[in-house]
């Protein structure tokens, strides 16, 4: 069973990673939109170099 | 005129979406594409805050100037005299360096609110050249490559697009002309579904780093801690620095992912800038995998030419490690100064130059060891893990000089260390 899960994870690594990332991006964006105490996205450090 | 920050605002993404559609589906002919690309680049640059018509004019003049010089040098049979070729190249490089020094440090000064160095009556003092650090390095590359007659296909429209290319304009990667030219004229550029898939994935990676990871790390970063800086304990300074290192990495590599992803949507390949730098076992490997496009530029156009010149000194020719160390220290001092105008940036460059020199000496000593057990240890996983840990700490401690000025660093260690 565990071997099957590991195989599945290995086979779908890219899709799982993208889904995970999109999920958290959406959560953070929604939190940013909804909460008045939420912080804004900081400016890039490197932009002014 | 519409105004937005690149990658951070919804307007940017909406405009990019429209541009991708127009460039992929409405402008099919190669010549039309080149003009369309240039117009899209100009439109995007003008949308940048602090980038006005004056900045655009200066950029156009510099681009035409460097292209003309490059074209003259690159074309066989036009300028045959080697002395004249060197004089033309050197004078052009000096002009670009002057532009870089003038606009970059004025930009830094104006951001800090210190304009006292400049005459109040000077009407040009408000002109800012965003991205000057990056496009000036691209222009220098073009001049040097042309001097060596290494530009395969000099073309004004492609060169304009190369310099003005908006995804990499503000913070790189510093791509090379031939690479851009190949990618720009490649058939892959028209394979929209392939580009959409690759670019889309890269953009998601970049947004994840920028929106999620950077946001999580931000409250723990040394410069963002809630306590006054002189009240921080050594432990708080250490974790603040660790957080700053990861924050810096995710912020910059996130930006690079977005730049590469957006360029991919337009069908252009940009070079990679990061390759797991914090998992490298020494500082030389870390630098070979951190801001790769800058490091390779510095190696190609400062370090190696300097090594070649310095080899002419007999004293240094016999001492290759000393020769390499002197050149690496000089290269990294330039690297530090490129990053900013404060003495802390110079010290940061010197710190890394000295670190790399120490590694050179250590490697030479290591080669002399004849003990099998010790050599087996150097090849082991433990040695590798210790190397990663020490390299990360060396880099993180160096970030103190990057993030804070000398006064603040003294304040930070007030009473805690010898400072």
Chain segment B172-181, per-residue pLDDT in tens: 899 999 999 9
Asked if B251 and A28 come within 8 Å (Cβ–Cβ), the reply is: no
Query: What local confidence, expressed as pLDDT, does residue A38 receive?
Result: 54
Q: Which of B69-73, B80-84, B93-97 has the lowest mean pLDDT?
A: B80-84
Interface check A25 vs B, CB under 8 A: yes
Interface check B170 vs A, CB under 8 A: yes
Q: What Å distances lie between residue B100 and B109, B155, B316, CA to CA?
A: 14, 24, 32
Residue of A nearest to B245 (CA): A45
Residue of A nearest to B135 (CA): A49
ipTM of the complex: 0.78
Query: What local confidence, expressed as pLDDT, does residue B123 receive?
Result: 45
The whole-model pTM stands at 0.89
Query: What local confidence, expressed as pLDDT, does residue B419 receive?
Result: 45
Query: What local confidence, expressed as pLDDT, does residue B110 receive?
Result: 60
Query: What local confidence, expressed as pLDDT, does residue A39 receive?
Result: 57
User: Which one, of B303, B211, B210, B201, lies nearest residue B250 by Cα?
Assistant: B210
| Residue with more model confidence, B24 or B335 | B335
Nearest to B204 among A21, A28, A44 (CB): A21
Q: How far is B127 from chain A (nearest CA, A)?
A: 14
Beta carbons of B65 and B39 less than 8 angstroms apart: no
pLDDT tens digits, residue range B348-361?
Answer: 999 999 999 999 99
Query: What local confidence, expressed as pLDDT, does residue A36 receive?
Result: 55
pLDDT tens digits, residue range B46-78?
Answer: 999 888 899 999 999 999 999 999 999 998 878
Inter-chain CB pairs, A–B, below 8 Å? 60
Mean pLDDT for chain B overall: 89
Asked if B212 and A22 come within 8 Å (Cβ–Cβ), the reply is: no
The pLDDT confidence band at residue B242, using thresholds 50, 70 and 90, is very high
Nearest to A42 among B170, B212, B218 (CB): B218
Query: What local confidence, expressed as pLDDT, does residue B122 receive?
Result: 47
In three-state form (DSSP H/G/I as H, E/B as E, the rest C), the secondary structure along chain B is CCCCCCCCCHHHHHHHHHHHHHHHHHCCCHHHHHHHHHHHHHHHHHHCCCCCHHHHHHHHHHHHHHHHHHHHHHCCCCCCCHHHHHHHHHHHHHHHHHHHHHHHHHHHHHHHCCCCCCCCCCHHHHCCCCCHHHHHHHHHHHHHHHHCCCCCCCCHHHHHHHHHCHHHCCCCCCCCHHHHHHHHHCHHHHCHHHHHHHHHHHHHHHHHHHHHHHHHHHHHCHHHCCCCHHHCCHHHHHHHHHHHHHHHHHHHHHHHHHHHHHHHHCCCCCCCCCCCHHHCCCHHHHHHCCCHHHHHHHHHHHHHHHHHHHCCCHHHHCCHHHHHHHHHHHHHHHHHHHHCCCHHHHHHHHHHHHHHHHHHHHHHHHHHCCCHHHHHHHCCHHHHHHHHHHHHHHHHHHHHHHHCCHHHHHHHCCCCCCC
Query: What local confidence, expressed as pLDDT, does residue B19 receive?
Result: 93
The Cα–Cα gap between B272 and B179 comes to 12
Gap between the terminal Cα atoms of chain B? 51
pLDDT tens digits, residue range B125-140?
Answer: 556 788 999 999 999 9
Q: What does DSSP assign to residue A39?
A: P
Find which of A14, A19, A20, A44 to mutate to test the B interface (most B CBs within 10 Å of its CB): A44
φ and ψ of B6, to 5 deg: -70, 140
Asked if A41 and B211 come within 8 Å (Cβ–Cβ), the reply is: yes
Say whether pLDDT at B330 is over 90.
yes
Query: What local confidence, expressed as pLDDT, does residue B375 receive?
Result: 86
Interface check B18 vs A, CB under 8 A: no
Q: Which of A28-32, B73-77, B378-382, B389-393 has the lowest mean pLDDT?
A: A28-32
Asked if B208 and A41 come within 8 Å (Cβ–Cβ), the reply is: no
pLDDT tens digits, residue range B261-289?
Answer: 999 999 999 999 999 999 999 999 999 99
Asked if B211 and A28 come within 8 Å (Cβ–Cβ), the reply is: yes
The arithmetic mean of pLDDT across residues B140-150, rounded, is: 95
């Amino acid at each position: 069973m565990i071997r099957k899960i590991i195989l599945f994870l290995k086979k779908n690594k890219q899709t799982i990673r993208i889904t995970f990332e999109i999920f958290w991006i959406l959560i953070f964006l929604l939190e940013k939109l909804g909460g008045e105490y939420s912080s804004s996205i900081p400016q890039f450090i490197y932009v002014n170099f | 005129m519409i105004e937005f920050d690149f990658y951070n605002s919804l307007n940017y993404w909406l405009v990019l979406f429209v541009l991708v559609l127009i460039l992929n589906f409405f402008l099919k002919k190669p010549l039309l594409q080149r003009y369309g690309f240039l117009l899209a680049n100009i439109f995007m640059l003008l949308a940048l805050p602090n980038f006005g018509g004056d900045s655009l004019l200066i950029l156009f003049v510099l681009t035409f100037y460097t292209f003309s010089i490059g074209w003259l040098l690159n074309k066989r049979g036009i300028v045959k005299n080697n002395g004249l070729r060197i004089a033309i190249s050197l004078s052009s490089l000096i002009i670009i360096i002057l532009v870089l020094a003038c606009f970059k440090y004025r930009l830094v000064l104006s951001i800090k609110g210190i304009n006292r160095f400049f005459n109040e009556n000077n009407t040009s003092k408000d002109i800012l050249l965003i991205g000057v650090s990056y496009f000036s390095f691209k222009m220098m590359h073009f001049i040097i490559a042309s001097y060596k007659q290494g530009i395969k296909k000099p073309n004004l429209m492609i060169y304009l697009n190369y310099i003005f290319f908006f995804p990499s304009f503000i913070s790189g990667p510093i791509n090379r002309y031939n690479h851009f030219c190949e990618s720009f004229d490649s058939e892959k550029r028209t394979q929209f579904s392939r580009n959409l898939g690759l670019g889309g994935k890269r953009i998601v990676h970049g947004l994840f780093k920028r929106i999620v990871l950077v946001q999580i790390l931000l409250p723990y970063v040394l410069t963002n801690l809630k306590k006054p800086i002189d009240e921080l304990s050594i432990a708080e300074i250490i974790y603040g620095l660790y957080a700053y290192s990861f924050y810096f990495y995710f912020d910059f590599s996130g930006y690079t992912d977005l730049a590469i992803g957006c360029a991919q949507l337009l069908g252009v390949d940009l070079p990679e800038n990061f390759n797991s730098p914090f998992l490298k076992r020494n500082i030389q490997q870390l630098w070979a995998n951190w801001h790769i496009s800058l490091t390779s530029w510095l190696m190609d156009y400062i370090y190696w030419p300097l090594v070649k010149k310095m080899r002419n000194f007999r004293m240094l020719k016999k001492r290759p490690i000393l020769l390499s160390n002197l050149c690496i220290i000089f290269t990294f001092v330039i690297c530090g100064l490129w990053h900013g105008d404060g003495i802390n940036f110079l010290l940061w460059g010197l710190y890394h130059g000295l670190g790399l020199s120490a590694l050179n000496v250590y490697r030479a000593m290591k080669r002399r060891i004849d003990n099998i057990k010790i050599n087996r240890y150097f090849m082991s996983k433990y040695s590798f893990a210790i190397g990663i840990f020490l390299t990360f700490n060396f880099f993180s401690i160096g970030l103190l000089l990057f993030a804070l000025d000398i006064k603040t660093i003294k304040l930070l260690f007030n009473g805690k260390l010898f400072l």
